Amino acid sequence: MAHEHKLAIFQGLLKFKSNTQKIWGVLIFLTIITAIEVVLGIYKPEGLMTQVLGMKGLNWIFIILTIVKAYYITWDFMHMRDETKSLRRMVVWTAIFLICYLVFILLQEGGYVEGVYRNGFIKKDF
């Protein structure tokens, strides 16, 4: 187990010759993503500032890119790709389910409180 690594990333689109090579390849990929994030964060293109599903389009791009980064860190740096399916699911699905649940509840509640401030009779502009 320990010495065998799956060397293909992007669904087998890119195959590396050795594990070391794959590590550098993933580093390059992560660096590119971070660079994209930073450039978008500095220039904030007008076209991406429209509201998509209650949030700025740009923010969705950031979140998706973050999840992509998280995927490659977990799968290739932490070798999740090489673990058994059951260990992978035990760790990943548990965390994803609980985090989604928590985030949904808290953001929903936060939005509600904001609505109370905005539409209710609570004054905070002094």
Partner 1 sequence: MNTTVENTGTEGKTWGGGNQPLKASYGKMMMWFFIVSDALTFSGFLAAYGFSRFKFIDSWPIADEVFTHVPFFHGNYPMIYVAFMTFILIMSSVTMVLAVDAGHHMKKKAVTWYMFLTVIGGLIFVGSQAWEWGTFIKGDFGAVQTKGGNILQFGEYVDVDGKQKFKRVAVSDFAKASSTERVQHERKNGLWFVSEGALPEFTVDEIYAGLESHGNVYVRNQIINEEGEKTVLSREEGLKQIKENGKLYVKGANLHVNEYGSPLFADFFFFITGFHGFHVFSGVVINIIIFFNVILGTYEKRRSYEMVEKVGLYWHFVDLVWVFVFTFFYLV
Q: CB of 60 within 8 A of CB of 66?
A: no
Question: Which listed residue (7, 48, 57, 69) binds partner 1 by CB under 8 A?
Answer: 69
Question: Which listed residue (27, 32, 45, 52) binds partner 1 by CB under 8 A?
Answer: 27
3-state class of 14 per DSSP?
A: strand
Tokens 């979140």 sit on residue: 63
Based on the number of CB atoms within 10 Å of its own CB, is 19 exposed (0-12), middle (13-18) or buried (19 or more)?
Answer: middle
Question: Which listed residue (10, 38, 45, 52) binds partner 1 by CB under 8 A?
Answer: 38
Find the shortest distance in angstroms from Cβ 10 to partner 1.
18
User: Does position 87 bind partner 1 by CB under 8 A?
Assistant: yes
Spatial distance between the Cα atoms of 53 and 31, rounded to a whole number of angstroms? 28
Question: Which listed residue (11, 50, 51, 86) binds partner 1 by CB under 8 A?
Answer: 86
User: Does position 20 bind partner 1 by CB under 8 A?
Assistant: yes
Closest CA relative to residue 75, chosen from 11, 119, 3, 18: 11
Which amino acid, 92? Answer: V
User: Does position 59 bind partner 1 by CB under 8 A?
Assistant: yes
Spatial distance between the Cα atoms of 76 and 69, rounded to a whole number of angstroms? 11
Chain positions contacting partner 1, by CB under 8 A: 1-3, 19-20, 23-24, 27, 30-31, 34-35, 37-38, 41-42, 49, 59, 62-63, 65-66, 69-70, 73-74, 76-79, 83-84, 86-87, 90-91, 94-95, 98-99, 102-103, 106-107, 109-111, 113-114, 117-118, 123-126
